[in-house]
């Protein structure tokens, strides 16, 4: 499956590469939340995390840790967000598995979303039971 990210891996579209090994590629996001915001992607295509091979996930998450450590040190960030948008409804725009590694600063002004809570304890039990049944 060809996406803009396969073209970046192939060198057909320029990027600011920060890391590459046999299985993984990482480069700066062109529209960063904060400077140093990077994307870590497996070379092996999958649409997202849910359809990726386990081996691919091991390779990519290990690179995410390495890249996150480097970004934290290089930018002097106070914290790091690792974000993986899965599906259009969750904000995914490029359908090639990628992890956002975002350096965060105590004063950068971004806020996390606010939780909705549950309407009742029963609602919480019911959804937990449905998930357990699938697992
Ligand atoms: P997502 O919404 O999780 O699919 O994120 C896709 C990300 O890819 C966005 O943050 C974009 O800014 C980034 N992006 C898209 N095209 C490029 C590109 N050519 N070079 C670097 N980053 C890109």
Domains assigned to the chain = 4-108 (3.30.428.10)
Asked if 98 is an active-site residue, the reply is: yes
Q: Please count the CA atoms within 13 angstroms of the CA of 50 that sit on its side-chain side.
A: 4
Structure tokens at 2: 């060809």
User: Phi-psi bin for 76: left (phi > 0), alpha (psi -120 to 50), beta?
Assistant: left
Whose Cα sits closest to atom 20 in ligand 1? 30
Ligand 1 neighbours by CB, cut-off 6 Å: 4, 13, 15, 29-31, 39, 85, 91-94
pLDDT tens digits in sequence order for the chain, 135 residues long:
899 999 999 999 999 999 999 999 999 999 999 999 999 999 999 999 999 999 999 999 999 999 999 999 999 999 999 999 999 999 999 999 999 999 999 999 999 889 999 999 999 999 999 999 999
pTM above 0.85, yes or no: yes
Q: Compute the residue count for the chain.
A: 135
């Amino acid at each position: 499956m060809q996406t803009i990210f396969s073209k970046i891996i192939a060198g057909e579209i320029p990027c600011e590469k920060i890391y590459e090994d046999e299985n993984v590629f990482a480069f700066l996001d062109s529209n960063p939340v904060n400077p140093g915001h990077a994307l870590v992607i497996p070379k092996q295509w999958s649409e997202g995390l849910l359809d990726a091979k386990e081996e691919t996930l091991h390779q990519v998450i290990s690179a995410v840790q390495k890249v996150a450590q480097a970004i934290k040190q290089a930018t002097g960030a106070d914290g790091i967000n690792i974000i993986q948008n899965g599906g259009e409804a969750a904000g995914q725009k490029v359908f090639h598995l990628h992890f956002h590694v975002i350096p965060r600063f105590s004063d950068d002004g971004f806020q996390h979303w606010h939780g909705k809570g549950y309407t009742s304890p029963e609602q919480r039990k019911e959804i937990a039971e449905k998930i357990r049944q699938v697992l």
